Amino acid sequence: MHPEDRERVVNYCVSQSRSGIDHEAEYRALTRDSDYIWIRDVVHVVRHGTEVEALVGFMFDISERKAREDELLRLKLELEALSYQDGLTGVANRRHFDTVPEREWSSAMRNGAPLAIIMLDLDHFKDFNDRFGHPAGDACLRRVAAVLGDMTRRPRDLLARIGGEEFMLVLPETDAEAARIMADRCRQLVHAAAIPHPGSEGGFLTVSVGVCSMVPADGQLPTVLLEAVDRQLCSAKRQGRNRIAVAEAQPAA
């Protein structure tokens, strides 16, 4: 019996046998060729009165079934991962993003730590698609996602494409100044990528960015932060695009 299975299976089977209870167990067994196969061991306890007289066991090779189960589990995990991934850019999608702010908000509230969100929108992207076509637009989105992906280096940082030409960065334990620096770095990196866009000022693709960082207060919901960062993005666009706008004060609860 495989060493990793031995203690668990032997203890269980001995206990059941001594109690006179029929039982079964699955474990890996060593073959004469020094390979392991999966065994299903079915045991019938023969009793004489209250005494256990004998054990009658049947062993079945269930290796093929186990292999199918392992493959199904692998496919399930792969499908689950794909369901949270944006098919075009490879970053997190809106479905994934929707699961994150509430979790991080709760963590920030427990720890009294700031939580920052950066919202980015590609400037004049409809005009980009109209000029160059949707295949070029898709390539542009993939390029931007790759540029922004370099900014998420901590395990809990998240970059998501939430729809069309909009991206979100979720940054736990990040105050307003650190978020502002990161947002401006994102803006500069997109501009430095030098993606041609005749409809944009300067002839290259730019982004508008909204930024907000908050330490959650009792009774506040994460929607407060999301609404605040959305207002900042609108402000950046109103001010002429290719710039960042940062919430200067924490919104009221």
Enzyme catalytic residues:
165
Please give the structure tokens belonging to residue 132.
């160059």
Q: Alpha-carbon distance 253 to 215, whole Å?
A: 11
Q: Alpha-carbon distance 221 to 68, whole Å?
A: 44
Q: What share of the chain is helix, strand, coil (3-state, %, to 5)?
A: 45, 25, 30
**Helical packing angle, 134-149 and 176-192, nearest 10°:** 140
- How many other C-beta atoms can be found within 10 angstroms of the C-beta atom of residue 63? 15
Catalogue the long-range contacts made by 40-47 (C-beta closer than 8 Å, 24 or more residues apart). 41/9, 41/13, 43/13, 43/16, 43/17, 45/16, 45/17, 45/20, 45/21, 47/20
CB 203 within 8 A of CB 196: yes
Q: Alpha-carbon distance 166 to 17, whole Å?
A: 63
Pairing mode, strands 166-172 and 23-30: unpaired
